[in-house]
Amino acid sequence: MADDPEEGMLSWDESVFRDEHVFEIDYVPETFKHRDTQTQNLTYALRPAVRGSRPLNVMVRGPPGTGKTTAVQKLFDEVGTQTSDVRTIRVNCQVNSTRYSVFSRLFEGTFDYEPPSSGISFKKLFGQIADKLVEDDRVLVVALDDVNYLFYENEASDTLYSLLRAHEEYPGAKIGVIVVSSDPTLEVIDELDSRVQSVFRPEEVYFPVYDQPEIVDILDERVRKGFRDGVISRNTVERVADRTAESGDLRVGIDLLRRAGLNAEMRGSRTVEMEDVDAAYEKSKYINLSRSLSGLSDTERALLEVIATNDGGQAGEVYETFHEETALGYTRYSEIVNKLDQLGLIDADYADIEGRGRSRSLSLSYDKEAVLDRLE
């Protein structure tokens, strides 16, 4: 590598990035590519709200990293520029996975301040939200993002029932719901109580995995906005696209570009090379794992660590170790096992054990070291 900065070395105050925020998870692109049909369907469902009526309910499905959250956020931003008579609130159910916490976020979005941390019942919380909507003659559109987490905690039916039946208890309250699920195995309608199924008749909008040309097109735009001219070659971008296509998650590619840029800077290089991409992929490929772990409670993380150290062990044996560490009973243990299985963090498969009948073996869905490193 040359020592002359003019021959490829960065100085201390230089960067390969034009705008590093372009590669961050919360960045909303100005142009939203290859999702025209999905955007049109969402717009169709929300159009009545702009006219002061209750919108159609929507179920948005698709694997992680296919543009679901971005589509909803872009649409909410557009509605906000058109009218002040529609309140749009997106709730991250990975963080807010109970009915009360969901409505706490709705309260905050309605009144622009948080509700009291204690001493207020759900009924009162809900009543204040509904009364405010009726008083202001506003339509509320709620997006339950990552709604699958409400299902994992058995909170989905109660939450949706309260939202969908609001107009019965509070005449004049107009609320529409968008549920967004990233769990391809979750049959949202089938898993809801019959009392909710009878009123939740959503429009369905599906987001498929991006194909290779679409990935290249989207990454090209991020490169133009995020990197300085000449930093990354076409061949290197295509390597990133290949890695992204392997994962099926666009977020892997975007994170990979950022980490590859940081690797280049660590080398003092003005250009991002293949070696930077390959080194970065070892971390970027676990972006879904890191995201799933970030939403786990201390108890859930403790069980996952026990499973990691007893990878492939029988459920009963794993429980004994878990119980020694937490003193929790088998019912709660079983609930957490089911949640970790639904999240795709573990595989809980039944097998015939000689002399013991059928039992579940618990094994990690990811590399053991990758899990343990991220649990620290």
Return the SS3 of 316: helix
312 is in an annotated binding site: no
Query: Measured between alpha carbons, how far is 133 from 87 in angstroms, rounded to an integer?
Result: 9
What does the block give as tokens for 91? 């709730």
User: Is 222 annotated as ligand-binding?
Assistant: yes
Strand partners, 176: 141
The C-alpha atoms of residue 272 and residue 261 are separated, in whole angstroms, by 6
Say which DSSP state 17 is in.
B
Strands annotated E in the chain: 58-61, 86-92, 139-145, 174-181, 203-206, 313-314, 346-353, 357-364
Please name the helix (run of DSSP H) or strand (run of DSSP E) that holds residue 205, with its range, or none: strand 203-206
Single out the residue of 76, 35, 183 nearest to residue 91, CA to CA.
Answer: 76
Task: Check: CB of residue 146 under 8 Å from CB of residue 180.
Answer: yes
- 271 marked ligand binding residue: no
Residue 66 marked ligand-binding: yes
The single-letter code of the amino acid at 1 is M
Q: Is 70 annotated as a binding residue?
A: yes
The torsion defined by the Cα of 115, 54, 182 and 199, in degrees rounded to 10, comes to: 100
Q: If you count DSSP H runs as helices and E runs as strands, how many of each does the chain have, helices first? A: 18, 8
Strand (E) or helix (H) holding 72:
helix 68-82
DSSP reduced 3-state for 36: helix
Q: Are 126 and 71 in contact (CB under 8 A)?
A: no
Q: Binding site: residue ranges?
A: 66-70, 210, 222
Binding residue positions for ATP: 66-70, 210, 222
